[in-house]
Amino acid sequence: MRTITPLQIQNETAGSAPETLRICEATKTFGTGPVALDKVSFSLETGEFTVLLGPSGSGKSTLLRAAVGLVRLTSGTIEVSPKEATPSGKRRPTAIGMVHQDGSLSDRLTAAQNVLSAMVPQMGWWRVLFQAYPKPLQDKACRLLERVGLTEEQANRPVRELSGGQRQRVGIARALMNDPTLILADEPVASLDPATARKVMLLLRETARELGATVLCSLHQTELACEFADRIVVLKQGQLIFDGAGAGVSPRSLAGLFDHDSAGRPLDLVGG
Shortest approach of other proteins to residue 121 CB, angstroms? 4
Told to check if 241 binds other proteins by CB under 8 A, we report no
- Toward other proteins, which CB reaches closer, 6 or 125? 125
- Toward other proteins, which CB reaches closer, 13 or 252? 252
Other beta carbons within 10 angstroms of residue 137's beta carbon come to: 17
- Toward other proteins, which CB reaches closer, 4 or 132? 132
Region near other proteins per CB under 8 A, out of 98-106, 138-146, 161-169, 210-218:
98-106
Shortest approach of other proteins to residue 136 CB, angstroms? 19
Other beta carbons within 10 angstroms of residue 152's beta carbon come to: 10
Shortest approach of other proteins to residue 178 CB, angstroms? 8
What Rg value do the Cα atoms of the chain yield, rounded?
Answer: 18
Closest CA to 209 of 56, 7, 32, 55: 7
82 preceded by cis ω (within 30°)? yes
Q: How far apart are CA 131 and CA 116, in angstroms?
A: 9
Site string for other proteins, 164-183 (x = CB under 8 A): ----------x---x-----
Region near other proteins per CB under 8 A, out of 19-27, 105-113, 136-144, 187-195:
105-113
Shortest approach of other proteins to residue 70 CB, angstroms? 6
Other beta carbons within 10 angstroms of residue 99's beta carbon come to: 24
Site for other proteins in 25-84 (CB under 8 A): 65, 68-70
Shortest approach of other proteins to residue 104 CB, angstroms? 4
State the sign of the Cα–Cα–Cα–Cα dihedral 108, 205, 241, 17: negative
Closest CA to 28 of 211, 234, 200, 237: 237
10 CB-near residues (< 8 Å, 6+ apart): 47, 48, 230
What residues make contact with other proteins under the rule CB under 8 A?
65, 68-70, 92, 94, 98, 100-101, 103-109, 113, 117-118, 120-121, 125, 128-129, 131, 174, 178, 259, 267-272
